A = this chain, B = another copy of it.
Amino acid sequence: MNSKKQFILWLFWYRKSVVRRSFKVTSSFKMFVKLFRKCAGSCSFIGDNIKQVFRNYSAESHDGAGLIYKEYGDPMKVLKKVDHVLSKSTQSHPMEGRVIVKMLAAPINPADINMIQGTYPVKPSLPAVGGNEGVGEVLAVGDDVTSFKEGDWVLPSSPGFGTWRTHMMCKPSQLKLVANDIPLISAATLAVNPCSAYRMLKDFEHVVPGDVIIQNGSNSAVGQAVIQIASAMKFKTINVIRDRDQPDMDALKKHLKSLGATKVITEDFVRKPEMKDLVKSLGKKPKLALNCVGGKSATELARQLENNGTMVTYGGMSKQPVVVPTGSFIFKNIKLRGFWMTRWNQENFKNPESQDMLDELCELVRQCKLHPPFCNLSHIDNFQDAIATAMKPQTNRKELLIMDEKYLDWRYE
């Protein structure tokens, strides 16, 4: 245990910057990772009765403890933890062509909640394991597996993986490699929000340095990733946020600007004549708009676009539809598109661009240009509190399930 404590002490130093939340990774990290991993594998439980559950669920998996649901409904009621002892021999000697993964951390995203409620467009066959995102560590690989090795960090390659569990056995094709020299929280939250932001900035308009992007819901996890990635790519961003009390507003503006936001404005401001001057001051009208709100907010975003610009909708927080005047389509030639990371992953499963994206994002993390979101860390045993918090409206922090107590020491404020 001494080695583990030492590891934790050395792992990160708290970066007392304006952001107050990023990690800098020391060169000592790699030295300790190897040592640290050797301690893993002691929390592997799963019941015989759950084997079939995991097998039914997308990843061909077995052995581990997991949060499962046998019916769709309120996650507070239908989600149960089931344990089983994973035999040491299975851990260290997986089947041919299979990989044993020990999950390290997995966030609770809104889509995970909707999936359990049965309101999400992807409905896993029941019973199912909760969670779609998270980072795991390869414990062992079958003799013929060459794409992964012990100690690698991995992410699920497709949705419906069931990440809220401690262990699984799966095929190499179900995994993507992620760097293991970045903070655990960054790795655990990289596949959904930063990847969504990255793709939306890359795939819809040919945005070049100096170009302008406008987005609403800029304080969301995707919104913050957009600000950071856009800033790293030298794009200017106009970031629209909901109105709030002045002290909160000042703090939020300061925070988003510290991430790289060019301008931070309220929904009301966008409708004012002064908005014209703000856009003028940037030298260009926005080429790309990213909408996760809908309703009037989306209408205003579309109105700000330059001719031939694109608005990408990836969320609908206001629960209002997207409303755009016909003239914007006809005379301004604006385009409306949608983005869903799940679909992109399904369609680009074997596309090398998928791994390139992860590598590029990891590099931004290493350069401290992409910080993970604020997170509350909870041990998987305390999942009910975490789920309850995640279901509160407009929470500013992401709930992260930690599969091993020792990782809880990485908590940061």
Question: Are A335 and B337 interface neighbours, CB within 8 A?
Answer: yes
A332 CB–B CB distance under 8 Å: yes
Question: Are B294 and A331 interface neighbours, CB within 8 A?
Answer: no
Q: Copies per complex?
A: 2
A323 CB–B CB distance under 8 Å: yes
Q: Which residue of B lies closest to A327 (CB)?
A: B316
**Residues in chain B near residue A315, CB distance under 8 A:** 326, 330
Most buried by B among A294, A321, A329, A343: A329
Question: Are A338 and B343 interface neighbours, CB within 8 A?
Answer: no
Question: Are A333 and B322 interface neighbours, CB within 8 A?
Answer: no
A314 CB–B CB distance under 8 Å: yes
**Residues in chain B near residue A326, CB distance under 8 A:** 291, 294, 313, 315-316, 321-322, 338
Question: Are B336 and A335 interface neighbours, CB within 8 A?
Answer: yes
**Residues in chain B near residue A324, CB distance under 8 A:** 321-322, 336
A25 CB–B CB distance under 8 Å: no
Cα–Cα, bound, A391→B153 (Å): 69
- A336 touching B336 in the complex, CB below 8 Å, given contacts A322-B326, A323-B322, A326-B315: yes
Question: Are A333 and B340 interface neighbours, CB within 8 A?
Answer: yes
Contact of A339 among B299, B325, B330, B336 (CB under 8 A): B330
Cα–Cα, bound, A330→B316 (Å): 9
A182 CB–B CB distance under 8 Å: no
Interface size on A, residues (CB 8 A): 30
A247 CB–B CB distance under 8 Å: no
Cα–Cα, bound, A334→B321 (Å): 14
Cα–Cα, bound, A315→B336 (Å): 16
Contact of A340 among B316, B322, B330, B343 (CB under 8 A): B330
Give chain B nearest CB distance to A392 CB in angstroms: 22
Tell me the A291-314 residues at the B interface (CB within 8 Å).
291, 294, 299, 312-314
Cα–Cα, bound, A338→B333 (Å): 5
Contact of A329 among B121, B299, B325, B337 (CB under 8 A): B337
Question: Are A335 and B333 interface neighbours, CB within 8 A?
Answer: no
Most buried by B among A313, A314, A335: A313
Cα–Cα, bound, A324→B315 (Å): 13
8 contacts between A and B (CB under 8 A): A321-B324, A321-B325, A329-B336, A329-B339, A333-B337, A334-B338, A335-B336, A335-B337
User: Measuring CB to CB, which residues of chain A are less than 8 angstroms from any residue of chain B?
Assistant: 121, 291, 294, 299, 312-316, 321-340, 343
Q: A316-B325, A316-B330 are in contact. List 6 more A-B contacts (CB 8 A).
A: A291-B326, A294-B326, A312-B329, A321-B323, A322-B326, A331-B343
